[in-house]
Chains A and B, each alone.
Chain A
């Protein structure tokens, strides 16, 4: 079995790390080896956040090699675009359509690339736009947009429904579980 390489890129506070946790729990439930890596520190202060998840029979490095990413999930279009070069030809590039201005843009020092979605679609991989916040609002909590993204990603990973429900149960506190399962399902049905 080949190692599956996943990258999750977003902004501090979007729940990128929880999404990674769900993916890891799914792999764990499936009896696979996992390495998950993230860099935090200053990320809570509105900076970019990135997490690497590698799943396979035997995984050594916790970092996804350049150009070998099978699935990239951009939790924000610009952050997706920033990492898009890592996706391999024929890989999958998902992105949440909801923009969050970097401070450099809000302060008027830089321009948010208006054509961000066109740029994302120019890569030689399958591109999927996800109205993640809209779905999350449908289930009643904007903050579940991260779980919507995991739901979309689930279509590209060969885990059963049972494995996913085990993973969600393991990663999400009980009182928020029902809502997040609904968010996951909306994402899963997006494709």
Chain B
């Protein structure tokens, strides 16, 4: 039982009480999670403390028993960056990383925050800020680092001035991503350190550590998160914000200009830095050995540590929080201290490969699959496999059989539906892109034929066209995606004389990730009014002669415009523009309903794929709770059965 001598405090002064509160906070942190009993003890002490304070006539500050806060990993990354004294932050939205910037912008009086048009731009903005002397944070999802890889590789050479951290969130299990790449490869490729927190408190602590390491060794640093770290909440304690650095760029071309004569010197320095960093990683508090039973020693990192503690509670653990360069000395010490070594890492066998190369016998991917997200359940299978037991099949009390799925769909009232519906009238190949409109791949619309990457809708279309694809090729891209990496592709379409039709489905926001602003919205992340970049004008400036804008809710006009552009042999640009109703939070129009007398059950309205239109095979109805009033069903109905619902005016 942790007891503090509060009783001895008879007549507390303000200083007295504050000191005791500080001790209590420290104790609470030191003892970690608190049992009900401990909590009651602390709570009683706090009450007495407050009573004493009242007795002494000192106002009681807002101080609750629970001194810790519950925040998500992403909020914690933002808090860590704030405490580290970051003054510039940039990023591009991408699940599961988006909320880091959204949390950090709450400190906008002290931290400049921006959504950059893409990850490469964001990383370069951060690099510029760092070279000028500021501490800078850059955020993105794993695939975003591919876009930003070019500047990262050379920033490693020229090094940084103010601390520079790029926080990258991986998505094992592909909850909302197109691939499952492991960001740890980039640390090795760029020859820079990487940190991997396992919960929100570590997200704060490691962020501060990462900035210190970055500055001390003049290196960019990667902070790797995963969906489960970013989107899990756990308890943290806040600290103070660090002193800010002076900003003043000091000219020094041999250091900052990697022309070959200087670049070759930098190359040598990078290797020396890596040796120094490896030594630092061995003594860093981010890497620690927890000896328990020595018959099995597990090397693990990130969220996998939590699952390991759960499934192998008795095993010794080498917890890697600073994953590259590898802390070889620590690994050898641990391996020598245990009978058998197991590596538990999510995704690729990066640690395992290295540890094997060190000549240490270990198990890893033979018992832990590198595919998909890890979980306690999957580690239980690992354990069973290692112990030669039968693999436990999760024992459902009964099997819920063949349940209808609930996939994400284009929302009721989504403006993209008008374009997809128009495209169903043509035998075309549609090269798609990353965004809500990916959902147009599903029937009954089925008008996305391939998706590769951000901006890829434009360029794939051009490539198919040049290859001589017999059908017309239509490239589709969203507004945020157009600004991200669609513009250079469009320039290529004009420059190299494509016959492709490019459609920008502009819903005035970055919708899929939760409605972030971009260069076309007229507002910055900090909430300031700014320019509204015009997609049409950019198209014309690229050299596209045929530029047409349509209202996707006007199905007739949209179909006509699409038909004309698809017919044309020239490169053309169609901009379909209407704001996302989920963001405006307003009805598009009045509620609609179906007159059952008039309805002939032809199924035409069902071809819109609107979730508000429900059919049981015999009758078709509009669910008034879901209907957004876009009226597309009214437009497609040939018998006039769809009408404005009585009293359903918007």
Where the two chains meet, the residues of A that have a C-beta atom closer than 8 Å to any C-beta of B are: 1, 11-12, 24-25, 28-48, 56-63, 65-67, 78-79, 81-82, 84-87, 89, 101-113, 119, 122-125
A124 touches B397 (CB 8 A): yes
A58 cross-chain contacts in B, Cβ below 8 A:
32-33
Closest CB of chain A to B337's CB: distance in Å? 22
Q: A37-B228, A60-B310, A125-B397 are in contact. Are A65 and B66 (CB under 8 A)?
A: no
Judge if B589 is at the interface, Cβ distance under 8 Å.
Answer: no
Q: How far is the CA of A122 from the CA of B410 in the complex (A)?
A: 34
Q: How far is the CA of A46 from the CA of B96 in the complex (A)?
A: 18
B191 cross-chain contacts in A, Cβ below 8 A:
none
A67 touches B394 (CB 8 A): yes
B377 touches A66 (CB 8 A): yes
Chain B, 401-414, contact with A by CB distance < 8 Å: what is the 0/1 string?
00111111111000
Q: A61-B310, A108-B617 are in contact. Are A45 and B233 (CB under 8 A)?
A: no
Judge if B533 is at the interface, Cβ distance under 8 Å.
Answer: no
Closest CB of chain B to A20's CB: distance in Å? 9
B66 touches A28 (CB 8 A): yes
B199 cross-chain contacts in A, Cβ below 8 A:
35
B65 touches A31 (CB 8 A): yes
> 3 nearest interchain CB pairs?
A31-B39, A41-B176, A85-B396
Interface size on B, residues (CB 8 A): 69
Q: How far is the CA of A104 from the CA of B404 in the complex (A)?
A: 7
Pick the contact of A24 from B42, B233, B310, B443 — CB < 8 Å? B233
Of the stretches B243-251, B268-276, B565-573, B608-616, the one at the interface is B608-616
A119 touches B234 (CB 8 A): no
Closest CB of chain A to B407's CB: distance in Å? 6
Q: A41-B96, A41-B175, A57-B33 are in contact. Are A46 and B234 (CB under 8 A)?
A: no
Chain B, 378-406, contact with A by CB distance < 8 Å: what is the 0/1 string?
00100000000000001111111001111
Chain B, 217-232, contact with A by CB distance < 8 Å: what is the 0/1 string?
0000000000110011
B32 cross-chain contacts in A, Cβ below 8 A:
33, 58
Give the residue name and chain of the A residue nearest to B615 (CB): A108
Could you name 19 residue pairs across A and B whose Cβ atoms are closer than 8 Å? A28-B235, A31-B35, A31-B39, A34-B235, A36-B70, A38-B231, A38-B232, A39-B175, A59-B33, A62-B234, A63-B228, A63-B307, A67-B396, A82-B403, A84-B400, A102-B405, A103-B406, A104-B406, A109-B404
B397 touches A39 (CB 8 A): no
A40 touches B231 (CB 8 A): yes
Q: Which of A34, A63, A103, A111 has the most CB of B within 10 A?
A: A103
Judge if B34 is at the interface, Cβ distance under 8 Å.
Answer: yes
A59 cross-chain contacts in B, Cβ below 8 A:
33, 234
B36 touches A1 (CB 8 A): yes
Judge if B140 is at the interface, Cβ distance under 8 Å.
Answer: no
Give the residue name and chain of the A residue nearest to B39 (CB): A31
Q: How far is the CA of A1 from the CA of B33 in the complex (A)?
A: 12
Name the interface residues of B1-17: CB closer than 8 Å to any CB of A. none
Q: How far is the CA of A70 from the CA of B190 in the complex (A)?
A: 46
Q: How far is the CA of A104 from the CA of B233 in the complex (A)?
A: 32
Pick the contact of B232 from A31, A62, A122 — CB < 8 Å? A62
Q: A30-B36, A57-B33, A62-B306 are in contact. Are A42 and B232 (CB under 8 A)?
A: no
B398 cross-chain contacts in A, Cβ below 8 A:
84-85, 119, 122-124
Q: How far is the CA of A25 from the CA of B68 in the complex (A)?
A: 11
Q: How far is the CA of A127 from the CA of B418 in the complex (A)?
A: 44
Q: How far is the CA of A177 from the CA of B198 in the complex (A)?
A: 34
Q: A32-B36, A34-B233, A61-B376 are in contact. Are A84 and B407 (CB under 8 A)?
A: no
Judge if B556 is at the interface, Cβ distance under 8 Å.
Answer: no
